[in-house]
Amino acid sequence: MEEIDAGEEAGAFRALADSTRRQILEELRAGELPAGEIARRFPISGPSVSRHLGVLRAAGLIRERREANRIFYSLAEERLALCVSRFLSAVCPEQFIFRQHVRNLQEGRESTA
């Protein structure tokens, strides 16, 4: 498994801090998209979308593939998962998440009873 250093992880979280970039990642969830199609899905200028794509690419959260004069983008799912899961496991261990989930389920049942 690839190791992520603190600087790379910080870059990923900086990239994720912007709502437009998070929405781009959500758009790419279904699969690879050309840059023009990504830009059409946002109410901002093409150059602004391009800058957001550059930030995501620099953070390693998306991949770029060129085909003739078109650029296609796709999620770097494993990189995104690695950055986020390492952070979550450090601050919110799995057992805590599980216990909280069970507690929420139990509270939900009690309030409906």
> Which residues touch 57 (CB under 8 Å, ≥6 apart)?
63, 64, 73
Amino acid 86: pLDDT: 78
Prediction pTM value = 0.77
Query: Cα torsion at 76, 80, 83, 85 (round to 10°)?
Result: -130
Tell me: the pLDDT tens digits for 7-65? 888 999 999 999 999 999 999 999 999 999 999 999 999 999 999 999 999 999 999 99
Amino acid 98: pLDDT: 66
Distance CA 25, CA 105 (A): 30
Amino acid 4: pLDDT: 75
Alpha helix ranges (H) inside 1-113: 6-16, 19-28, 35-40, 46-58, 77-91, 94-112
Whether pLDDT at 109 is above 80: no
